[in-house]
Amino acid sequence: MTDLSQCLPGVLLKLAQNPSARAPLYTFLGDDGEETVWSASDLDVRARRIASALRERGAQGERVLLLYPPGLDYIAGFFGCLYAGAVAVPAYPPDPLRLERTLPRLRAIIQDARASVVLTTSGILGLSDFVFEQAPDFRALHWMATDELPEGGERDWVAPEGLGAESLAFLQYTSGSTGTPKGVMLTHGNLLHNLSLIHGAFGARADSVGVIWLPPYHDMGLIGGILEPLYGGFPVTLMSPMAFLKRPMAWLEAVSRFGGTISGGPNFAFDLCVRKSTPEQRRALDLSRWEVAFCGAEPIRPETLERFVEAFGPSGFRREAFYPCYGLAEGTLIVSGGEKSAPPVSVTISGEGLERHRAEEVGAAEPGARTLVGCGQTLAEQRVAIVDPETLERRAPGVVGEIWVSGPSVAQGYWGREEATRETFQARIAREDDGPYLRTGDLGFLRPEGELYVTGRRKDLIILRGRNHYPQDLEATVEGAHPALRPGGGAV
């Protein structure tokens, strides 16, 4: 039995039937400044058309590779898969100038997912002969340019049988420590639960406005940047991540121009905007409507937040807009987050104590002191535990351990990897009955009030003479040793 109310297609179908269905939902800013605008109704028609074509191929339940440049066609391809009951597999298109580096990962994803159909654009399909020369095995796949599908096919769409909350929606591929891609299995239920968490945490409303430059192939860009506006029924302006990297101020100019209220990115993005902007450019901005500046996906440096507030405070940006958060693909996206409209919280702890897995609060002037930005508290229906990774015992507040997560947003496991799924997604705390838990591989601690602080990755930890050293701390120390060394420019 199909229950679209428990699936992501049901959200779009409901939105497309509203009186506001023709209002702009997605606006994509091209590199040339051209705007492409789609409403919920536009997306619904294209998704039905693609789903009908996939249905003819018998794709329900099959994995379908999405190979698009950033843009609205990618969104149509994603929803086309969901409308067909297929499992979407987002992936970066191969770079024609770097095929020797980009093809191996793409091939690994295709082989692991056992995909047989590729959705793409006519532009990328035009380069296929060049790609096939380097990867002749790709010829065996069925390639479909969705922007060339004939109109009218949408009328043949029929909702797939058996679609529900437990149905697999897409595979989010992430690299493990060996670089081998692993597909995180996310159901419609996982997605809807996490979208509801984001919606509540961000305080999203119908008059919210998103501005997103993040890659659409990964969780933060896809779920937080593309699906959340759809879930909340508010418009979003999208741009290519390459456009941001080429000219970071294009992001803030878009926030200013469109009156963005929700936008964000990793720590480096905020630093980049400070370094790549002039006082004249900053004065031309109006960032006063920016309510939620989410920051996550990598260690959040307090000095980054301070520099950004100092640089863009005169443009109307408020410190209270910063929203530090923690999440990961295996948890769908968000796990914990701060309080909207409240300034970020931080704690200064002893560096020596941290080497002993102790978060001992000290004064900022203490030698070796380290200031950490809090990632908020666990969001509704989610549970976070700090666990000794060796003994599997729960650790007390203020003691560093591995971050474990439990709740409806936790993914179903890794596609085709039973042992890795069992080790990562089915963990149990020693002498406790609850669970199972997701082992994130991240280290951190909880404060007594429940604030989560992330200290680093367990696999990245450097142990010298029995003391623990975090690579990001070593990098920050080196970067701060000379003004010629810029933030984010070092690696250990």
Separation of alpha carbons 268 and 327, rounded Å: 17
4-220 fold? Rossmann fold (3.40.50)
From 327, 318, 338, 319, select the one nearest 200 (Cα to Cα). 338
Please list the pLDDT of the chain residue by residue as tens digits (492 residues). 688 889 999 999 999 999 888 999 999 999 888 999 999 999 999 999 999 999 999 999 999 999 999 999 999 999 999 999 999 999 999 888 888 888 999 999 999 999 999 999 999 998 888 888 889 999 999 999 999 999 999 999 999 999 999 999 999 998 654 568 999 999 999 999 999 999 999 999 999 999 999 999 999 999 999 999 999 999 999 999 999 999 999 999 999 999 999 999 999 999 999 999 999 999 999 999 999 999 999 999 999 999 999 999 999 999 999 999 999 999 999 999 999 999 999 999 999 999 999 999 999 999 999 999 999 999 999 999 999 999 999 999 999 999 999 999 999 999 999 999 999 999 999 999 999 999 999 999 999 999 999 999 988 655 544 445 446 554 554 555 445 555 555 555
Torsional class of 180: left (φ above 0), alpha (ψ -120 to 50), beta (otherwise) = beta
Q: Quick check: do 4-220 and 247-415+427-479 share a fold?
A: yes
Question: Which residues, 6 or more positions from 462, have their beta carbon under 8 angstroms from its beta carbon?
Answer: 468, 469, 470, 471, 474, 492
Domain residue limits, the chain: 4-220, 247-415+427-479
pTM over 0.75: yes
247-415+427-479 fold? Rossmann fold (3.40.50)
Q: What single string gives the DSSP state of each residue in 153-199?
A: GGGG--PPTT--TTSEEEEEEEE-TTS-EEEEEEEHHHHHHHHHHHH
